[in-house]
Chains A and B, each alone.
Chain A
Amino acid sequence: MADGLETLRPGALTTVQDLGRAGHAHLGVPRSGALDMAAHRLANRLLGNPETAATLETTLTGCAVRVLRPTVAVVTGAPCPVTVAGRPAPWGQPVRVPAGAVLDVGTATHGVRSYLGFAGGVDADPVLGSRATDLLSGLGPQPLAAGTVLRLGEPQAGGPPPVPDAAPWAAPPRELVLPVVAGPRDDWFTAEGLRTLLTGRYRVSAASNRIGLRLEGPALARAREGELPSEGMPLGAIQVPPEGRPVIFLADHPTTGGYPVIGVVPPAALDAAAQAPPGTPVRFAPATP
């Protein structure tokens, strides 16, 4: 255990994430995994890690870890100040971190979630093939707390690949425009309700989390009362509870539900949703086939 990471400052919420555990929804197990999948994958690519390697996902306020053995680390996702042993270090570029040095990932300057990748990946006991922390059902490692020690995996032989001059990266959105495919339960809403979804001005609510992006804005009028018999819920589902404000299901979403899903945001568009802080304006647009 003396060769991994020691948590000095866990930040608002820092969890271990990877590609998640899709394929178990029929057992009531959420897929989980990194919310900004592109940023998580980029961290692993910059380090030459296998795509299954785990990273740390922070929330707004970053985190600080002491590295207990020499390693190479990279910070992707939400841009933020990075220091190694108190000295400024680049964001988005692999940096060498000597044994005993503190890697500090500061508060995001834009966006919400930064990803800390380490050569060899963060190691933890996999559950159903994934090291991801699932906050809905409590699977995977607990969120980091001060003093939490995590192992690191074995780096690939030959070290990280050569550093590119620039890695492509989409800036966190000023306004989130989410494509939506209507259904499966769009017939539970009035024509007015469907129009409201596509024309209404929404904002990201502070009550959002890894389970769902909750929105503030106009309520969506229902054409029928009551609830559905429980049915499977996909990633990106726009579920509408009785009070009418939509919730977009993210990685830790429940696998079944009884509120109607008016539309679904294709998962590729959810990376941007993961980086939209509370207050960000949100619009929906019909997905182009």
Chain B
Amino acid sequence: MNRPAAADGSPASASPERGTPPLVRPVGDRGLLVELPTAGRTEALHAELLRRRAAGTLPPVSEIVPGATTVLLDGLPSAQAARRLAAELPGWDVPPLSGGAENAVEIPVRYDGPDLADVAALWGVSEDEVARIHAATTFRVAFCGFAPGFGYLTGLEERYHVPRRSDPRTRVPAGAVGLAGPYTGVYPRSSPGGWQLIGTAPGTVLWDPDRTPAALLAPGTRVRFVPLGDGGTDGDGDAEDDGGVKGDGGADGDGTAGASGAPRTPNPKERP
């Protein structure tokens, strides 16, 4: 078993970036939840799982679902296959991710959100500086959830993490760009929401089931926000575009889903 670096008990082995092996927990009889010490190592393991699946060296799984610091593997062919992978995976040598911005998806954004002033105050900078810092950051889709096409983007430095609004809005328009905790996200469709809104991404369709791929953002996708000039080269400005999503269902949707009674979507602190 080729252990990752620093299994020799040196001080480096305590480093969460390389040392501690992942913790593998059973999920039913044919699934595993792999827990990692950091978000960075979670993203690296997710990339490694996709590499191994593409290379045909991963046992068949029906789902590979990253979370904030976990990856869920579900639908292994047998309980035995699940046990074998659980035993083997902690010994994998997983290379860290490269931080490059190549092939980043560019999302044009107007920094005009209703919470821009609040975020500027929390950051201790001007509103223009919020836009500059946000647009200078290369983000990465850590995981998806909440609604089809919604990506939780990481990349902002910790000092720029902000709390959710204490008073969530009952309606956030599609295309709104928000911040909460370590995350940035773009609402794929109109919904209730509690993130701090700093801008609008007009014309970006995050989810279109008739498009291939349907989701603009998948886990691992790199993202950059490109500020739109004051003149507005943003086309029709249709912030209400729902990206072709049928109906208004969803976790907070139309009643058939049991709006308030529905099991929760992501962690309430993270839920958009």
Contacts and interface: CB of A to CB of B under 8 A. Distances in A.
Interface of A: 13, 22-29, 127-128, 134-140, 142-143, 181-185, 207, 209, 211-212, 214, 227-237, 239, 241, 247, 249, 252-259, 261, 264-267, 287, 289
A134 B249 contact: yes
A29 B42 CA distance: 21
B63 A229 contact: no
A227 B263 contact: no
Interface of B is mostly: loop
A23 B246 CA distance: 20
B65 A136 contact: no
Nearest to A143: B256
Given A27-B215, A209-B257, A234-B74, A256 B29 contact: no
Interface stretch (B13-21, B143-151, B195-203): B143-151
Most chain A beta-carbon contacts within 10 A, residue among B33, B218, B219, B250: B33
A232 B71 contact: yes
Contact of B247 (A22, A142, A231): A142
Contacts of A230: 67-68, 143, 145, 152, 266-267, 270
Interface residues of B, number: 59
Interface string B19-51: 000000111111101000000000000000000
6 contacts: A28-B147, A139-B249, A212-B262, A227-B269, A256-B146, A258-B270
Contacts of A127: 209, 246
Contacts of B29: 181, 266, 287, 289
B223 to A, nearest CB: 15
Interface string B135-171: 0000000011111111010000000000000000000
B75 A22 contact: yes
Nearest to A258: B267
B229 interface: no
Contacts of A29: 148
A257 B253 contact: no
Contacts of B74: 25, 232, 234-235
A27 to B, nearest CB: 4
Given A28-B149, A135-B249, A264-B31, A181 B263 contact: no
A195 to B, nearest CB: 19
A140 B28 CA distance: 28
B25 A184 contact: yes
Contacts of B245: 137-139
B72 A27 contact: no
Given A127-B209, A229-B67, A231-B70, A139 B263 contact: no
B72 A231 contact: yes
Given A136-B249, A209-B262, A252-B257, 16 more contacts: A26-B63, A26-B66, A27-B214, A128-B214, A138-B247, A139-B246, A140-B246, A142-B247, A182-B26, A211-B262, A231-B69, A232-B71, A234-B27, A247-B263, A249-B263, A261-B27
B75 to A, nearest CB: 7
